[in-house]
A and B are shown apart, each in its own frame.
Chain A
Amino acid sequence: MTGAKHPHARRHTIAVLVDNEPGVLARVIGLFSGRGYNIESLTVAEVAARENLSRITIVTSGTAQIIEQIKAQLSRLVPVHKVVDLTTDGPAVERELALVKVASIGDKRVEALRIAGIFRAHTVDATNESFVFEIVGRSDKIDAFVNLMEPLGLVDVSRTGVVAIARGTQPL
């Protein structure tokens, strides 16, 4: 039971600092699939080349007990330095980037461009019949933008998944 559908399930964003070694991502993903936890999004990239550290940001959901389990299970993986629940440990900023392709002509094309302006999306590619917009924001903002593009000729979406960082002066 993932607990993801439990009435008390809540969405959590968890940051995990790991040694950037082969297999570390497989370990994290295997832990989630093997124990039936839910992954809504997962991002990973090296963040400190000299110390050979990568940061994984996972968005998951579950009851408080499941989230505690997830954190404990992540913490006991050998290459894991740190696990922080950005949802519970003070305020944090979350961002996601999406590239959104819209193909249309006439009024629809004009409307797509106008809405992109409202959302402060950048146009990073254009042809006579299409745009690629780059939009940055919280996931729900991107959801809203994608929904609005749907009737305006939406043909493709690529999203990065969530990255997040705590507000204030402190490191992870």
Chain B
Amino acid sequence: MSHEQDINGAEILLKALADQGVEVVFGYPGGAVLPIYDEIFKQNRLRHILVRHEQAAVHAAEGYARATGKVGCVLVTSGPGSTNAVTGLLDAMLDSTPMVCLTGQVPTSLIGNDAFQEADTTGITRPCTKHNYLVKDVNDLARVVHEAFYVAKSGRPGPVVIDLPKDVMTAKGKYVGVGKVRHKTYMPKVKGEMSAIEQAAELMAGAKKPILYFGGGVINSGNAAIDLAGKLVKMTGFPFTQTLMGLGSAPASSPQFLGMVGMHGTYEANLAMHGCDVMVCIGARFDDRVTGKTSAFSPHSKKIHIDIDPSSINKNIMVDVPIVGDVGHVLEDLIRVWKAKQLHIDEKALKSWWRTIDGWRSKDCLRYVRSKKVIKPQYAIERLYELTKAKDPIIATEVGQHQMWAAQFAKFDVARHWLTSGGLGTMGFGLPAAMGAQVAFPDKLVVNIAGESSIQMNIQELATLMQERLAVKIFIMNNQYLGMVRQWQELLHGGRYAESHMDVHPDFVKLAEAYGHKGRRVDKPADLDDAIMEMIETPGAFILDVRTDASENVFPMIPAGAAHNEMLMGPEDEAGNPSSEDGMVLV
């Protein structure tokens, strides 16, 4: 017999969130979740951040989760509340971000009746969540919440939706604590197969032209994995590269860092991937943005792949040594095996490999033509990076050219300081994500590097910034174009710029002021440093509208459907139309 008193569903929910250590929830109220908001009103332990659009609540929770490593938490109402959250959920799914999203639902008696603000939320979100639940009985509620947090953060992390009918929130039931819930089926394997780890160590020791390729999985695995990744780099002396999601997984200031890999990765990283004889892929998934044409991807290498998700292995690229397990656990074993077997790298071969790489490096693939007249976008980010690096800022981005330049020119020595939408490429991600990170770290410098178009997809969050006194700095790279679309049209569609130019944009300075923030416009290279300093030194949120050269393109570029050794290095390469017919249909 339990002596626990029966309490209502909304109280159970808040108790469960408290037991899960949730401190912040990003949300937006509505009819179906009023009982939950009533409970929130009665307490002051859980902080609620009132966003201005549910999509932003989800991206904010993503930003919070990525900056802290904790599970992000969202609360939205039924129907339009939950459908507005869908983009964010898929974004979190593709970037493996741990999150629990609570959605209101019409009372159980009305489900299926096309009731007011009813949506089949579990049906709609099934393919864009790691798992979802519809709670029909208040006595299942506490268990489901604990399970949801467990599922969200274990194995390969992801978003979990809990759909909460209104009558379940008002019904009385029993609370059960965290300790009593154990999952029946979901128990991801964290330890890697020892024989495979030994095989990997030996392959690495025998390598003449090795490369380490780190992805977001290193960061998701946790601090131990990040430390071990750094150790592995030092221990082996191997060159290493990172995916867009993996930036910061090992220090960018290391001389062994070749820069980012992939479509807009560096020349040296892509050619090293192409020419290596042993590739160690750690917590990355051979995404098409990384591999380019798969049939020509790194044709002469033995590939080792460490990943917690068995479905990532042999999905796009067949590998020689698959190791299913948590990056932290596997790297620990790998380093232990390396030491126990007293393995050594082939110093002589490695030296000559480095000479080859240094040759590629000397091409200085990120160079660009400087200008005294217009602000080059690359220059804008270089200056932003130089003037803020002492503060070790958290940088969020929107999606487009500015995002790629940020990835190329900002450097991250620590993890969890880079927030970007990699898998889904969601314009509108950056501002709310920056907001979520700023909630977690109120005193930290948080900058959203934005495009003038992306920023308008969640611009309403300027109000949330003011209401919550969040000092996010918004650095708009204003080229008046859907720049990345324009670039593809220039390179692949004969310069027919269909609908990629926008004649009308708001006056961003006035817009900042309309929401009570400060702002400034800058269009001369000579004024840029001063403007950046003003942005950093002005208390509160700030919009810096940087007018950049509209004609600039992101290079290097591996056109869709091309191989790593078929990179375009700059405008001079554009002429020789590189894109195959197969490539034209790729995105």
Query: A residues bordering B, Cβ < 8 Å?
Result: 19, 22-23, 26-27, 30, 34, 65, 68-69, 72-73, 75-81
Contact call A75/B310, Cβ cutoff below 8 A: yes
Q: Are A19 and B184 in contact (CB under 8 A)?
A: yes
> When the two chains form their complex, are residues B314 and A68 in contact, meaning their CB atoms are under 8 A apart?
yes
A19 to B186, CA, bound (A): 11
Most buried by B among A19, A76, A79: A76
CA distance in complex: A72, B310 (Å)? 6
**Candidates A26, A34, A76; contact of B309 at CB < 8 Å:** A76
User: Among the listed B127, B134, B313, which residue makes an inter-chain contact with A30, where contact means beta carbons less than 8 Å apart?
Assistant: B127
| Chain A residues near B185 (CB-CB < 8 A) | 19, 78-81
Q: Is B318 engaged at the interface, CB distance under 8 Å to the other chain?
A: yes
Q: Given contacts A19-B184, A19-B185, A78-B151, are A73 and B123 in contact (CB under 8 A)? A: no
- Determine if A23 and B311 form an interchain contact, defined as CB atoms under 8 angstroms apart: no
* 27 pairs, CB–CB < 8 Å, chain A vs chain B: A19-B184, A19-B185, A22-B134, A23-B122, A23-B134, A26-B123, A27-B126, A30-B127, A65-B318, A68-B314, A69-B311, A69-B314, A72-B309, A72-B313, A73-B311, A75-B310, A75-B311, A76-B155, A76-B156, A76-B309, A76-B311, A77-B131, A78-B130, A78-B131, A78-B151, A79-B185, A81-B185
Residues of B268-327 at the interface with A, using a CB-CB cut-off of 8 Å, are 309-311, 313-315, 318
- In the bound complex, residues from chain A placing their C-beta under 8 Å from that of B130 are 78
B interface list, Cβ under 8 A from A: 122-123, 126-127, 130-132, 134, 151, 155-156, 184-186, 309-311, 313-315, 318
Decide: A23 and B126 in contact? CB cutoff 8 A. Answer: yes
A75, B188: Cα distance in complex, Å: 10
Cβ–Cβ contact A72 & B311, under 8 A: yes
Distance of A78 Cα from B130 Cα, bound (Å): 8
CA distance A37 to B211 in the complex (A): 34
Asked whether, in the complex, the Cβ of B131 is within 8 Å of the Cβ of A65, the reply is: no
Q: Tell me the complex Cα distance, A102–B282, Å.
A: 61
Specify which chain B residues have a CB less than 8 angstroms from the CB of A30 in the assembled complex. Answer: 126-127
Selected contact of B186 from candidates A22, A27, A65, A78, CB within 8 Å: A78
Specify which chain B residues have a CB less than 8 angstroms from the CB of A75 in the assembled complex.
310-311
Q: Hey, which chain A residues are within 8 Å of B123, CB to CB?
A: 23, 26
Name which residue of chain B comes closest to A75, CB basis: B310
- What separation, in Å, do the CA atoms of A81 and B134 have in the docked complex? 20
Contacts of A22 in B (CB 8 A): 134
Residues of A within 8 A of B156 (CB): 76
Residues of A within 8 A of B186 (CB): 78
Chain A residue nearest in CB terms to B130: A78
CB proximity of A16 to chain B, nearest CB, Å: 11
| Given the contacts A23-B122, A76-B309, A78-B185, A65 and B127 also touching, CB distance less than 8 Å | no
Bound CA–CA A149/B131 (angstroms): 46
Contact A76 B310, CB 8 Å, known A30-B127, A65-B318: yes
Cα(A72)–Cα(B285), bound, Å: 14
Per the bound structure, the CA–CA distance linking A162 and B186 in Å amounts to 27
- Separation of A69 and B309 alpha carbons in the complex (Å): 11
Distance, CA A73 to CA B309, complexed state (A): 9
What are the nearest 10 A-B pairs in CB distance?
Answer: A72-B311, A78-B131, A72-B310, A78-B186, A73-B311, A81-B185, A34-B127, A76-B311, A30-B127, A30-B126
Known contacts A69-B311, A80-B185; 20 additional CB pairs below 8 A are A19-B185, A23-B122, A23-B123, A23-B126, A23-B132, A23-B134, A30-B126, A30-B127, A68-B314, A69-B314, A72-B309, A72-B310, A72-B313, A73-B311, A75-B310, A75-B311, A76-B155, A76-B310, A78-B131, A78-B186
B317 to chain A, nearest CB (A): 11
Chain A residues near B131: list those with CB within 8 A.
77-78
A32 to chain B, nearest CB (A): 12
Point out the residues of chain A lying under 8 angstroms from B311, CB to CB. 69, 72-73, 75-76
- With most chain B CB atoms within 10 A of its CB, the pick from A68, A72, A73, A80 is A72
A69, chain B: closest CB distance, angstroms: 6
Residues of A within 8 A of B155 (CB): 76
Complex CA distance for A65 and B311, rounded to whole angstroms = 11
**Chain B residue nearest in CB terms to A18:** B185
How far apart sit A23 and B129, CA to CA, in the bound complex (Å)? 13
Could you say which residues of chain A place their CB within 8 Å of the CB of B309?
72, 76
Contact B314 A26 (CB under 8 A): no
A158 to B122, CA, bound (A): 32
> Would you give the shortest CB distance from B560 to chain A, in whole angstroms?
17
Cα separation A26 to B123 with both chains bound (whole Å): 8
**Max chain A CB contacts within 10 Å: which of B127, B132, B134?**
B127
Chain A residue at minimum C-beta to C-beta distance from B185 = A81
